[in-house]
Amino acid sequence: MAMTLAEKMLADRSSLARVHHGEIVETPVDLVMGNDITAPIAIREFEAAGATRVFDAERVALVMSHFVPAKDINSADQTQIMRRFAREQAIKHYYPEGTGGIEHTLLPERGIVVPGDIVIGADSHTCTYGGLGAFATGVGSTDLAYAMATGRTWFKVPESMRFTYYGKRRAYVTGKDLILHTIRLIGDDGALYRAMEFTGEVISDLPMEDRLTMSNMTIEAGGKVGICATDDLTLRYEEGRAQRPWRVYQADPGATYVEEYEIDVSQLEPQVAFPSLPSLTRGISDVGDVTIDQVFIGSCTNGRLSDLRTAAAILRGKKVHPETRLIVIPATQDVYKAALREGLIEVFVEAGASVSTSTCGPCLGGHMGVLGKGERCLSTSNRNYVGRMGDREAEVFLAGPAVAAATAVRGRITDPREFSPHEEAV
């Protein structure tokens, strides 16, 4: 029988002729990842179980990203556990502050995750790597500990949904807008424990950064994985980057999907998610007059170089609104260095933005931009749940970097096409 992309990958890696949804399979893992919140818990469980060595020091990634530079004593203690373990185990892919950045941008950027991989990470946005054609998903710290020791994990084969995007994207409509619109369409639990397979002419023409953004927010629809099939664009991205061979998988013709959607993007405009769910999304024309106290450009969703370029193009020669503050955090140190070379950091500083070293920071209400009571933030991150970025009475709106930059200038949620209405702004 024909298999979906997710089924094809799990069948092959489980050494089975075929699998079907609901079946439990065990597979080897190509990479396991933990960060400064989740890895210390996994390390304690690893050691409590009597394990002494990780299964492969080149297949474990430890990335400090959430509370670094250490914001308090507790976060400093967490990083100490990671430092000690990484040293004892000779972990190859160990990235303390100042060397890496946010894991979900860093690992694809450095070629540590490649197409066809089976990846688990103790962070819900591990699904990001599906943009490369990997089967990648978040797990708990105990599952991470087991995989660090054995190099294996288990999955319940998910049902698959197929989303086919067609038409021509309009100005400033990016992967962030496509996924926000999709979550609005199916709901915040519309893909619960399902594989979201993204396909169609729009995806084929979508830059890799935008594919990663779409897969990143699969979890905001409840999804297990979000996958774009590996194609020529993927392989061009991997050339000179991939640190090991990749595998290419394609869905079988005639595969069965639990649901299928065809989405015409021709009339889609930049999207904004209102508090306090990603599904509460509307087009920018329907936003109304919403003043904003803080704008955040960054996170594993939209802190890549292409995002900073988009924001800088709007901010160049302008000033942040006097009653609004703008925080810009490049997702990785490599993004930061490239932004420096291109003069983007200078654009942000001249505009009046606060620019930080690579960290998750305000995305999770951690530090460097936590919201106070009643404040409103327009963020390029992935979640706007109650209390996500600070006080429970604060409000978080989600959008792409163009809307964020335009909003920072005007002090209210603003259509970026007011600054550059041309279709080539895509």
Average pLDDT by consecutive 10-residue portion of the chain (426 residues)? 96 96 97 97 97 98 95 94 98 96 98 98 98 98 97 98 98 98 98 98 97 98 98 97 96 96 97 98 98 98 98 97 98 98 98 96 94 98 96 98 98 94 51
How far from chain centre, in Å, is Cα 191? 17
Separation of alpha carbons 45 and 53, rounded Å: 13
Overall size of the chain counted in residues: 426
Alpha-carbon dihedral angle through residues 318, 320, 322, 325, given to the nearest 10 degrees: -170
- The sheet with strand 376-379 has its strands ordered as 281-283, 271-273, 395-398, 376-379, 294-297, 325-328, 354-355
Each residue of 80-126: pLDDT tens digit?
999 999 999 999 999 999 999 999 999 999 999 999 999 999 999 99
Q: Which of 263, 286, 308 is the last residue of a domain?
A: 263
Residues 289 and 242 both lie in one domain: no
Residue recorded with tokens 């066809």: 116
CB 298 within 8 A of CB 389: no
Asked whether residue 138 is assigned to any structural domain, the reply reads yes
**Helix, strand and coil in the chain, % to nearest 5:** 35, 20, 45
Tokens of 15: 């050494």
**Is residue 2 in some structural domain?**
no
**Inter-residue contact 183 to 221 (CB < 8 Å):** yes
In the three-class reduction of DSSP (H, G, I as helix; E, B as strand; rest coil), residue 160 is classed as strand
Question: In the predicted model, what is the mean pLDDT of the chain?
Answer: 96
163 and 226 fall within a common domain: yes
Q: Is 18 contained in some domain?
A: yes
- When divided into structural domains, the chain yields a total of 2
Q: Are residues 279 and 255 in the same domain?
A: no
Give the model confidence (pLDDT) of 168-216 as tens digits.
999 999 999 999 999 999 999 999 999 999 999 999 999 999 999 999 9
Kindly state whether residue 283 falls inside one of the protein's structural domains. yes
Residue 27 in domain: yes
Is the domain of 194 the same as that of 328?
A: no
CB atoms within 10 A of CB 224: 25
Q: Is 71:369 a contact under the CB 8 Å cutoff?
A: no
**Range of 230's domain?**
7-263
Whether residues 237 and 295 share a domain: the answer is no
DSSP lists the bridge partners of residue 227 as: 197
Q: Which stretches of 95-245 are DSSP H helices? A: 103-109, 141-150, 175-186, 201-204, 208-216, 232-238
Q: What is the pLDDT of residue 420?
A: 75
Is residue 117 in a domain?
Answer: yes
Grouping H, G, I as helix, E, B as strand and the rest as coil, residue 66 is coil
pTM of the predicted protein model: 0.96
Instruction: For residues 215 and 302, state if they share a domain.
Output: no
Residue range 248-259, pLDDT digits in tens: 999 999 999 999
CATH of residue 286's domain is 3.30.499.10
Q: How many Å apart are CA 69 and CA 133, to the nearest integer?
A: 32
Residue corresponding to tokens 């997710």: 6
309 within some domain? yes
Q: Which residue do the tokens 């087009």 mark?
A: 283
Q: Which of 205, 240, 263 is the last residue of a domain?
A: 263
Same domain, 318 and 245: no
End of a domain among 215, 236, 263?
Answer: 263
Q: How much of the chain exceeds pLDDT 90, in percent? A: 98
Terminal Cα-to-Cα distance of the chain (whole angstroms): 40
The residues, any chain, with a CB within 8 Å of residue 224's CB and separated by 6 or more, are: 127, 137, 158, 191, 193, 194, 195, 218
Residue 113 sits in the same domain as residue 194? yes
Residues 302 and 256 in one domain: no
Tokens of 340: 């420096």
Which pLDDT score, from 0 to 100, does residue 422 have? Answer: 52
- Would you say 196 and 218 are in contact if contact means Cβ atoms under 8 Å apart? yes
Residue 1 belongs to some domain of the structure: no
> Are residues 282 and 237 located together in one domain of the fold?
no
Which string of b and e fits 264-284 if b means at least 16 CB within 10 Å?
ebeebbbbbbbbbbbbbbbbb
317: Cβ contacts below 8 Å, ≥ 6 apart = none
Tell me: do 239 and 331 sit in the same domain. no
Residues 313 and 239 in one domain: no
